[in-house]
Structure 1
Amino acid sequence: MKKILSSLAIMFMTMISIAQSANDNFVGKWKTEEGFIISISNKNGKFVGTDPKGRPTLYNVRFEKNEWKGTVENHDTGQKGNCEMYLMGKKLKIVAHKGIFSKTFYWVKQ
């Protein structure tokens, strides 16, 4: 019984830590896993992220059905996909989807 309660408490704390809010603020500079800096700004209530060359990398990020959703693009490969974003302290978790495939990556606030 004690193990079950401990497991439930851990699951609850995890859910709280990744709960999303319409008040989440992604504005700022974020370092990608590859070492690039993405600048995210808020334009008309939607977040937009640009790479050092000024190309949009993250766009149309909006709070919809209790989730942050948008589009992410990898300019090196030319791939673009839908994504969900989760603000986790100084980390930004991005889950990108392309067809049946998905990839999770993290950016760190600078």
Structure 2
Amino acid sequence: MLSFSTMFLRAVSSALEANHASAVTISHRMPILASLTFWPHPDSLKEANRMVMEKFEAMAEGTLAASRQMVDLSLRAAMGKADADDIATGMMAVAVAAAKPAQRRVRANARRLSKG
């Protein structure tokens, strides 16, 4: 298992990357969403539907991944095989696992929307 400081630095780096990708995605989607009110177009409706569905999918995947990490950590702690550093590192692993699906999607959206 990685050390807490290594996991923390990776989490911060991922968060900064997701922040940038989110800004790119939002800047491309705002005109699409604004146009839905006055000029609904099938492509705009498709993008709006995609936007909502991917959030639900990312939430479900992140919840499952975080639950798996939490079960692993809980079992190790219950068996007496986890010290304070393991608990801190394990909690960071839970947070990273929960965020990973959303980060993956936001990066993919930024790439996809920047191309077209």
Q: TM-score range by the shorter chain?
A: 0.3 to 0.5
Name the one with the larger strand percent: 1
Name the one with the larger helix percent: 2
Q: Who wins on radius of gyration, i.e. which is larger?
A: 2
Higher RCO (CA < 8 A, seq sep 6+): 2
Normalization by structure 2: what TM-score? 0.31
